[in-house]
Structure 1
Amino acid sequence: MLLSYAGSYYGYGRMYYDPTMILALIGLVLTMIASSRVNATFAKYNKVRCMAGLTGAQAAEKVLHMAGIYDVRVEHVSGKLTDHYDPRDKVLRLSDSTYGSTSVAAVCVAAHECGHAMQDQKQYGPLVLRSTLVPAANLGSQLAWPVFFAGLIFSLRPLVTVGIVLFCLAVLFQLVTLPVEFNASSRALEILDQGGILGSQEMDGARKVLRAAAMTYVAALASSLLQLLRLILIARRNDRD
């Protein structure tokens, strides 16, 4: 939708070539590369069975208990890599590719989600901030582009500015997400290693899986920053016109 908005319409609806599209395309390429890498890395280590023979669900339970967490339920959720921790309901949901799998990839993904539960238990600052930003970020991601282009079409500079500010809220959410995800992976790797859940060779694979997953968040932030730059450039060009 973002590409269709900005690729064809500007000002009063005139068709034109938008040179700022290159920024959106660069962001798209970065996101595709990161996504391809995480899928390839997960697929590789999803074929390697962890020596302890634990499923993702069993590993999650063990990691949680080792961290002194007993009030978080581990549940199954449909989909591939749809794993997430819900701090509101204290539920850790593991996907089809993680819940019943005994692979190294499944164990480290489950442990990563446990890392978020550990953050919640300790009231980790960036996680608290990210949870607070969710409503504003959702509003920003949904309304930023429509408001921005409405401002261009009707030549309302304040509306253009509102669109940019709304998009900044979504970018801020992604920025705060980075330390949350990196910290969760760090906690996961530490407890997997110290708890002997994965062996030394398996830990190397776990680091690669989590590193590849982290790069998807870096790529998403880079893409959003490029989109923000694009909005600013379009707004300035509109002012000159």
Structure 2
Amino acid sequence: MLYLMLILPALILSMYAQFKVKSTFRRYSNVRASSGATGRDVAVNLLNRNGIGRVHVEPIAGNLTDHYDPQSYTVRLSEAVYGNDSIAAIGVAAHEVGHAIQHGQQYGPLELRHKLVPVTNFASSASFPILLIGLLLQQANLILVGIVLFSAVVLFHLVTLPVEFNASRRAVAQLSDIGVIGNDEVPMVKKVLGAAALTYLAAALSAIANLLYYLLIFMGSADD
């Protein structure tokens, strides 16, 4: 019951966020940008404008699979974004370029997130098995190790929030500056990016809720 009380709000938010991002993207995928620029056009334009022409732009299969790869300096845009001239497409493309700009400027939270990736990958796979073994063997020390590892996962989610919010702010500002979107289109782009931001917020809250539950388990085992 306690676990449900902690995780249920985050679960509901996560389900709502998934619904919101898909419905908002679908809605504004049907609204053509007044400039007629495609996602690829916007990405290339913004990259050149910010002096980071070494970053490539290429299509990638799937839906909402858009991302910036800092290892290969590549902005990858999904099929619905790359060649599409919708409000949703140019908003998402500009957001991913926002990450490339962050990378070029060595934006602190992004640099920290990059350093956390290998730690988080290990912690996310190892924390729960260690917690489970600690519970089965009633070993508080093992439970504590699992909690410390899972804390790295929570930290990663928390660091991700300013990275994503900042990329979205950069996207809106850049699109406005180069005249790709008009004043009446700014709120639409913000809705697309705001819906996407909800998914990151939901993931962070879910991780925090799980961490709190694990801490309560540890305190209970320590009392025993």
TM-score range, shorter chain: over 0.9
Q: Among all aligned residue pairs of Structure 1 and Structure 2, give the percentage whose two residues are the same amino acid.
A: 47
Match of 1:133 in 2: 116
Q: For the residues of structure 1 that align with 2:83 and 2:126, how far apart are their CA atoms?
A: 39
Q: For the residues of structure 2 that align with 1:143 and 1:106, how far apart are their CA atoms?
A: 37
Root-mean-square deviation (CA), in Å?
Answer: 1.2
Instruction: Report the number of matched residues.
Output: 224
Q: For the residues of structure 1 that align with 2:126 and 2:190, how far apart are their CA atoms?
A: 37
Cα deviations across residues 39-76 of structure 1 (Å, max 9, x unaligned)?
Answer: 11111111101111111111111111111211000011
Q: For the residues of structure 2 that align with 1:26 and 1:172, how far apart are their CA atoms?
A: 20
Q: For the residues of structure 1 that align with 2:128 and 2:53, how far apart are their CA atoms?
A: 43
Q: Which runs of 5+ in 2 are unaligned?
A: none
Match of 1:30 in 2: 13
Asked if structure 1 preserves the Cα contact closer than 8 Å seen for 2:157 and 2:203, the reply is: yes
Q: Is the aligned partner of 1:46 residue 2:29? A: yes
Q: Is the aligned partner of 1:79 residue 2:62? A: yes
Q: For the residues of structure 2 that align with 1:146 and 1:97, how far apart are their CA atoms?
A: 39
Cα deviations across residues 154-175 of structure 1 (Å, max 9, x unaligned)?
Answer: 1221110010011100000011
Asked if structure 2 preserves the Cα contact closer than 8 Å seen for 1:20 and 1:233, the reply is: no
Asked if structure 2 preserves the Cα contact closer than 8 Å seen for 1:34 and 1:216, the reply is: yes
Counterpart of 2:175 (choices 189, 192, 198) is 192
Match of 2:190 in 1: 207
User: Following superposition, which runs of at least 4 residues in structure 1 exceed 6 angstroms of deviation?
Assistant: none
How do 1:123-202 residues align onto structure 2 when only pairs under 5 Å count?
123-202=106-185
Match of 1:90 in 2: 73
- What amino acid is the match of 1:66? R
Determine helix, strand or coil for the equivalent of 2:134. Answer: helix
Q: For the residues of structure 2 that align with 1:143 and 1:27, how far apart are their CA atoms?
A: 23
Q: For the residues of structure 1 that align with 2:70 and 2:174, how far apart are their CA atoms?
A: 20
Q: For the residues of structure 2 that align with 1:224 and 1:69, how far apart are their CA atoms?
A: 35
Q: For the residues of structure 2 that align with 1:152 and 1:34, how far apart are their CA atoms?
A: 33
Q: How many Å apart are 1:228 and its aligned residue?
A: 0.6
Cα deviations across residues 85-136 of structure 1 (Å, max 9, x unaligned)?
Answer: 0111100000122111111000000000000000011111111000000011
Q: For the residues of structure 2 that align with 1:171 and 1:179, how far apart are their CA atoms?
A: 14
Asked if structure 2 preserves the Cα contact closer than 8 Å seen for 1:34 and 1:212, the reply is: yes
- What amino acid is the match of 1:161? L
TM-score after normalising by structure 2:
0.96
Q: For the residues of structure 2 that align with 1:226 and 1:161, how far apart are their CA atoms?
A: 16
Q: For the residues of structure 2 that align with 1:125 and 1:236, how far apart are their CA atoms?
A: 35
